[in-house]
Structure 1
Amino acid sequence: MRLNIRIIIHIMGLLLLCNGSFMLLAAFASAMYKDGATLDISLAAIVTMLFGIMAMFYTRGHKKEVKRKEGYIVVTFGWIIMSISGMLPYLFSGSIPNITDAFFETISGYTTTGASILDDIEALPKGILLWRSLTHWIGGMGIIVLAIAILPLLGIGGMQLFAAEAPGPGGDKLHPRITDTAKRLWFIYFGYTVLETILLNVAGMSFFDAINHSLATMSTGGFSTKNASLAYWNNEPIIQYIVIVFMFLAGSNFVLSYFALTGKVQRILKDEEFKYYFGFVVVFSILAALGVYFKADVPVSDFHPMVWGKAESAFRHTLFQVLTVITTTGFVTADFTGWTHFLTVFFFGLMFLGGSAGSTAGGIKVMRHILIIKNGILEFKRTLHPNAIIPVRYNQKTVTEHIVYNVIAFFVLYMLLFIIGALVLGFLGLDFVSAVGGSASSLGNVGPAFGSLNPVSNYNSLPDAGKWWCGFLMLLGRLELFTVLIVLTPYFWKKT
């Protein structure tokens, strides 16, 4: 089977055109705030759009058919092309003059990881700060399309199950046309972003800070406009509670938001993944809050201290940090690695949980954990009754063995890549805690890690090779492992 190179290049051109258009938004903001970076960002936008237009023009007669191989290439190299073009505003403006650092910051943005190499974020021009947040939002939009339209068709990591639950014709699916499904979810994504921006602005954030943090929240990215991240607003609990609500929504399945908005609330209450996701957040937050209240110190708000006190602060900071790790958002209100040794290990474990399928969150995903746990429990029954057919059930439906095996393979591969990732970082000079934390955080698209990469630090201390390696892990985790790895196999490129 010959590759349809022309359609691949055409789609790449379209991506560049979209990327350049978003850069123009950042240039417009730069001009409004007169931050001195307007021409640099505009030039980056023009260069990006020119390449996009040329690619689309020279492939305008392409055969409009994307098969499985083309799908893998478009997804993998699309993210890389977006990251390469996306670092131009940093380079042209001199905000991040080093190519390695600029690429790291950019791919961290598009993969919605939120790990940064910047020591003084607040010194950046506002246009660059907005572009930095927009890379999150663009990546988040892309993840919704991947989860809904592309990964299930490619058979990635058990996402076929999600394909059966959400998009496509028939039953309670959103719409028979996948493009219309994606449009509806984009509308929800955009609507949530606007709503959060308004609420944060009313709660006391400046409009600029509000829109940047909304872009980062809904994409579960984590880039902030402040060096202290959300800890900058520790004396304004209402702001942090607003972010908590929208982090929860961003980490849940966007299809459920559609059901809620169309009055199908029962579908949400019956959804198995949502029940587990909600339960995990509640139980883990209570456990962590008790540990913090009795064993650690947290910043107490100056706002009505008689009302808000240590109990509220312990609850708010632990709920915030549990959600920011589970949803892989990466915002920070406190350094959870400095609370207790138990809580350090506790939060390390949460890095492997992830949000819901069909959300913008990274990680392994709650749905996969459910299937693995259920299958593990059923193995006891199968051992006692070897001739019995005991299938795994999810949302009261039988899950095929193929999907179960796919999920198990994903989990094993994920853990193997985590170990390899830590070994490489250790080889590059990181201590054990930093290497293990950096690998788990990069692969899970979490952002903050442990050791020298802790929540109140950044990734600037990494050697250049370490930054490229972490960027590769971010891409692997964001694109569900198989998408990238299969393109690296010799078999993929053989003519069949």
Structure 2
Amino acid sequence: MNYKIIRYILGSVVCFEGCFLLLPCIVGVIYHEQVGLAYLIVSLICFLCGGLLILKKPKSLKLYTREGFLTVALSWIVLSLFGALPFIISGEISNFVDALFETVSGFTTTGASILPNVELLSQTSLFWRSFTHWIGGMGVLVFILAILPLSGAYNLNLMRAESPGPSVSKLVPKIQSTAIILYGIYIFLTLLQICLLMLNGLPLFDSLIISFGTAGTGGFGHKADSLASFSSNVQVITTLFMILFGINFNVYFLLLFKKPKQALKSEEARYYLGIIAAVTALIVWNVRPMFETFAQALKHVAFQVASIITTTGFSTTNFDQWPEFSKGLLVALMFIGACAGSTGGGIKVSRFLILFKTMKKEIQQIIHPRSIKVIRFEGKPVEHGVLRSINTYFAAYMLIFIVSLILICLNNFDLITNFTAVAATLNNVGPGLQLVGPTGHFGDFNALSKLVMIFDMLAGRLELFPLLLLIVPSSWRK
């Protein structure tokens, strides 16, 4: 166990957060809000603490799988703890657990809020909440790898631990170049959405807030009704970009390097888009009588389906009032999630595809015991190690979900509220149904439930295992 490299990376993360906190300070100056001073104080604290941690560079920069997973988990916890301090210092969210819940929800791109009325927050804090989505969307350690490379191939252990999906590979030979390409695509799509929103009459501040939430598939809004009060053009643009950010960034890499045929062969992307189209059609059929026109129904349903499957969490209508069939489909989308290698949450389309192919293989094996069939995904054979990790992931996921649900049921809320609260936080979706629906909030849960959901949000964003390793004693042995 290389404790020194863990300490050094944590110091770098804290220093970078100090830089990030300067942006809301600028917003505070622009809007003449004294709240910006709280962000400046925490920024200075970050520079001091981070500077002390990176003061002495370790001799060995090697980072193996175990250190990589532990470093990522600790980095996100430290990031959230420091990120919650401005809310507490400014007094806008005085309770520590509430402030931590809001911050973790931001960084993990969940978008679940404990605030009954988000419009009471200052512009400075509204900017910070949404900017945490953008930081967490692609991953802060991926950002650091793009700027401060460590030791060659060992960087891949950090990227694998932080990136969503069953497997992560290098796009190009150098991992630093891979990180730069990923963030380049991420920044380009974000800027493109900002420009399109501004061209449709939206102010810069509103465009930034919505684009940060869309890019990170987070969903923190700055209006009480999320995006319901915005124009149809804004809603359609946001729908499109939510879907785009839910696609594996490898597809964009192939398009960028003029390999459209390979990009179009992406099995996961095709199923992802197919699921969106199929569920949208079913829900439109089911809710059509609730809207004046077919076009209006299609617009709201397409927005909500895109928002839920990409785990963004924006809303343009109260889908908690839709028929049970439609709500059931939306809950199913919470679990499916977006593509691996995107900024979306959930279990991921790729895992379900491989799982179904495994089931199909087992059924055929029973019918034809002597047949030999290889499971293929994206045109390549799926290795046994990948199948084993997916099976283990599903087992761990179910265990965490069941334990979390039992603990949250101590609040004595209705089962739909409790079930969808766990589903929304573990899958990084944001809103659920009933008390935690699009017009509700998570503030009524007790401190224990909020801590459980904080764990769930972090576990969901980091694909379970980095956070589970923290509580396994043998992980820390030399």
TM-score tier after normalising by the smaller chain length: over 0.9
1:98 and 1:152 mapped to 2: Cα distance? 33
Query: Residue 154 and residue 136 in structure 1: after superposition, are their counterparts in 2 closer, same or farther (change >3 A)?
Result: closer
1:353 equivalent in alignment to 2:348: no
Q: Is the 8 A contact 2:72 2:158 kept in 1?
A: no
Secondary structure of 1:114's aligned partner:
coil
1:458 to 441, 446, 457: 441
Query: Which residue pairs with 1:79 in the alignment?
Result: 76
AA aligned opposite 1:373: F
Corresponding residue for residue 322 of structure 1: 305
Measured at CA, do residues 289 and 42 of structure 1 come closer, stay the same or move farther in structure 2, by a change above 3 Å?
same
Matches within 5 A, 1:157-176: 159-160=166-167, 162-163=168-169, 167=170, 174-176=171-173
Q: What count of residue pairs does the alignment treat as equivalent?
A: 468
Structure 1 129/157 Cα, relative in aligned 2: closer, same or farther at 3 Å? closer
Matched, 1:264 2:259: yes
Corresponding residue for residue 8 of structure 2: 10
1:384 aligned partner: 367
Of 142-151 and 324-333, more deviation after overlay is shown by 142-151
Using CA pairs below 8 Å that are at least 6 residues apart, which structure has the higher relative contact order?
A: 2
Shift of 1:483: 1.6
**Residues in 2 aligned to 1:409 and 1:154: alpha-carbon distance in whole angstroms:** 15
Which amino acid counterpart does residue 265 of structure 1 have in structure 2? P
- 1:290 equivalent in alignment to 2:285: yes
CA distance in 2, matches of 1:159, 1:433: 29
Any idea what SS the aligned residue of 2:381 has? strand
CA 1:280/1:410 → structure 2, altered by over 3 Å: closer, same or farther? same
Verify: 1:247 aligned to 2:230, yes or no.
no
Moved more, 197-206 or 271-280: 197-206
Measure, in 2, the Cα distance between the counterparts of 1:346 and 1:281.
Answer: 11
Whole-Å Cα distance in 2 between the matches of residues 383 and 362 of structure 1? Answer: 34
Is the alpha carbon distance of 1:155 and 1:383 closer, same or farther for their aligned partners in structure 2, counting shifts above 3 Å?
farther
Unmatched segments (≥5 aa) in structure 2? 146-154
Q: Which letter maps to 1:82? A: L
Kindly indicate whether the alpha-carbon contact (under 8 Å) linking 1:353 and 1:366 is maintained by their aligned counterparts in 2: yes
Range with bigger deviation, 263-272 or 11-20:
263-272
| Contact 1:144/1:360 (8 A) holds in 2 | no
Deviations along 1:406-453, one digit per CA (max 9) or x if unpaired, are: 212212321232222211110233221111111111100000011211
Q: Secondary structure at the match of 1:446?
A: coil
Partner of 2:325: 342
Distance 1:286 1:232, change over 3 A: same
Of residues 30, 45, 48, the one that matches 1:47 is 45
Match of 2:379 among 388, 392, 396: 396
| Deviates most, 389-398 or 441-450 | 389-398
Letter in 2 for 1:281: I
Corresponding residue of 2:270: 275
Equivalent-residue separation in structure 2 for 1:39 and 1:441 (angstroms): 33
User: Which of the residues 439, 444, 457 maps onto 2:422?
Assistant: 439
Q: Distance in 2 between matches of 1:268 and 1:474?
A: 31
Measure the CA separation in 2 of the matches of 1:321 and 1:143.
28
Gaps of 5+ in 1: 168-173, 299-308
Q: Is the 8 A contact 2:80 2:100 kept in 1?
A: yes
Asked if structure 1 preserves the Cα contact closer than 8 Å seen for 2:164 and 2:342, the reply is no
Other-structure match for 2:453:
470
2:293 is paired with a residue of what secondary structure?
A: helix
Superposition TM-score, scaled by structure 2 size: 0.94
The Cα RMSD (Å) is: 2.0
1:298-337 per-position Cα deviation (integer Å, ceiling 9, x unaligned): 4xxxxxxxxxx52111101111111111000000111112
Matched letter for residue 204 of structure 1: G
1:141 shift after superposition = 2.4
CA distance in 1, matches of 2:421, 2:162: 29
Deviation at 1:343, TM superposition (A): 1.3
**Letter paired with 1:50:** L
Q: Is the 8 A contact 1:325 1:347 kept in 2?
A: yes
Q: Does 1:60 align with 2:57?
A: yes
Contact 2:166 2:350 in 1 (8 A): no
Q: Structure 1 residues 376 and 211 mapped into 2: Cα distance closer, same or farther (>3 Å)? A: same
1:158 and 1:404 in contact (8 A); partners too: no
- Indicate whether 1:185 and 2:182 are aligned: yes
User: Which digits, 9 at most, give the CA deviation of each residue in 1:203-254, with x for residues without a partner?
Assistant: 1221101011101100000001111101121xx1110010011101111111
- SS of alignment partner, residue 229 of structure 1: coil
CA offsets 1:104-124 (integer angstroms, 9 cap, x no match)? 000000100000111221221
Percent of pairs identical after alignment? 36
Q: TM-score, normalised by structure 1?
A: 0.91
| Superimposed CA distance per residue, residues 270-291 of structure 1 (whole angstroms, 9 cap, x where no aligned partner) | 0100110110111111111111
Q: What residue number does 1:484 align with? A: 467
Shift of 1:389: 2.1
| 8 Å CA contact 2:164, 2:343 repeated in 1 | no
Work out the CA distance in 2 between the residues paired with 1:41 and 1:157. 30
Give the partner amino acid of 1:191: F
Query: 1:492 offset after TM fit, Å?
Result: 2.1
Aligned with 1:150 (options 146, 150, 157): 157
Partner of 1:423: 406
Select between 440-449 and 31-40 the one with higher mean Cα deviation. Answer: 31-40
Q: Which amino acid aligns with 1:409?
A: T
Aligned to 2:105: 108
Residue type at the aligned position of 2:474: Y
Match of 1:333 in 2: 316
Superposition deviation, residue 386 in structure 1? 2.0
2: CA distance, partners of 1:144 / 1:478 = 13
Instruction: Work out the CA distance in 2 between the residues paired with 1:91 and 1:487.
Output: 27
Amino acid at match of 1:479: L
SS in 1 for 2:336: coil
Of 21, 24, 28, the match for 2:22:
24
Please point out which of 216, 223, 228 is paired with 1:219. Answer: 216
Per the alignment, residue 149 of structure 2 pairs with: none
1:34 equivalent among 32, 35, 38: 32
Aligned residue for 2:104, secondary structure, equals helix
